[in-house]
Amino acid sequence: MTNKPWSLQQCCDAYAGAGVGGISVWRNVIEPVGVQAAAKIVRASGLKVPALVRGGFFPAIESIKRQNALDDNRRCIDEAAAIGAEMVVLVVGAVVGMALNEARKQVIEGLSKVIDYAEANKVKLAIEPLHPMYAPDRSCINRMKEARLACEAINSPWLGIACDVYHVWWDPDLEIEIEIAGQQKTLFGFHVCDWRPNTRDLLNDRGVMGEGAIDIKHIRACVERAGFAGLNEVEIFSAEQWATDQHDYLLRVLRAYEQHV
């Protein structure tokens, strides 16, 4: 998603060429080529695949929609297994007009119904807490703590947390929750970007590391102290950067990673 203008093939070529260790794959780049072709592209690149992004969106007013979500999450797990992804990242969902605590109950119910399928396919599920500004309709889980409570409710080694600094950097309980996630062995993913002061758009105006307010090195130190040993994933949604030359941009991202992560 960081290089959204590129196809999966272009991403894999560029990342492998630049010495990047892996790629997390969004479903929108699988769709144009199909999952088997996507799997071939990824395998041929030699890149590791921390995650397929994204499953989730469990809560719904109508039971048929909740059922559809379960089906879609199982398909997502299939795709993750096919492309060799270690985990599926979950944006758990929320519904305007539904209380967030009711939505969280439905998330846990949904997770309980797909976790066996995840285990059977050897694909982990990672709840990504989203920033509170996405609480209305994208995620009723907006802090590490509520992700932890969901993990504790399901209590499976196949369910954990993807910690994205963009979403959680402001949380006064971030450090302690990262520590607990380390103890509970639920720290599955770590995503970096930055929060631009004077953000112009709620979705597509993330900053390159170093451009903003987040002390990424500090949070990285916390996740490493908690035992995280996976790949650090750069995930930047930026209409501004997508409009630039993507090869130049990739070099800027790599330099920013060296300096600020």
Backbone angles phi, psi at 198, to 5 degrees: 60, 45
Q: Which stretch binds a copy of itself (CB under 8 A): 7-15, 17-25, 39-47, 143-151?
A: 143-151
Q: How far is CA 130 from CA 27, 134, 179, in A?
A: 19, 6, 19
The nearer residue to a copy of itself, 79 or 194, going by C-beta atoms, is 194
Task: List all residues 6 or more positions away from 103 whose beta carbon is below 8 Å from its beta carbon.
Answer: 59, 93, 94, 95, 140
Q: Which is nearer to a copy of itself, 218 or 247 (CB)?
A: 218
- Token look-up 């630049």 returns 18
How far apart, in whole angstroms, are the C-alpha atoms of residue 92 and residue 258? 32
Contact call for residue 120 and a copy of itself (CB under 8 A): no
DSSP structure class, residue 121? T
Of the two residues 141 and 187, which places its CB atom closer to a copy of itself in the complex?
141
CB 60 within 8 A of CB 75: no
Residue 245, number of CB atoms within 10 A of its CB: 10
Query: Does 199 participate in binding a copy of itself (rule CB under 8 A)?
Result: yes
Report yes or no: 42 and 69 within 8 Å, Cβ to Cβ. no
| 229 lies in the binding site for a copy of itself (CB under 8 A) | no
Which of the stretches 34-42, 56-64, 176-184, 199-207 binds a copy of itself when contact is defined by CB under 8 A? Answer: 199-207
Interface segment toward a copy of itself; rule CB under 8 A; list 20-28, 54-62, 108-116, 191-199: 191-199
C-beta atoms surrounding 117 within 10 Å: 16
Helix (H), strand (E) at residue 120:
helix 100-120
Q: Does residue 212 bind a copy of itself (CB under 8 A)? A: yes
**171 binds a copy of itself per the rule CB under 8 A:** yes
Counting contacts by CB under 8 A, is residue 131 touching a copy of itself? Answer: yes
With respect to a copy of itself, which residue has the nearer C-beta, 137 or 245? 137
Which of 18, 99, 120, 239 touches a copy of itself (CB under 8 A)? 99
Amino acid at 122: K
- The span from the CA of 106 to the CA of 111, in Å, is 8
CB of 135 to a copy of itself, least distance (A): 4
| Spatial separation of the C-alpha atoms in residues 54 and 164, rounded to whole Å | 14
Q: Which positions from 49 through 78 interact with a copy of itself, judged by CB under 8 A?
A: none
170 belongs to the binding site for a copy of itself (CB under 8 A): yes
Residue from 92, 100, 107, 180 in contact with a copy of itself (CB under 8 A)? 100
Give the interface with a copy of itself as residue ranges (CB under 8 A): 96-97, 99-101, 131-133, 135-137, 142-143, 145-146, 169-172, 195, 197, 199-200, 202, 212-213, 215, 218
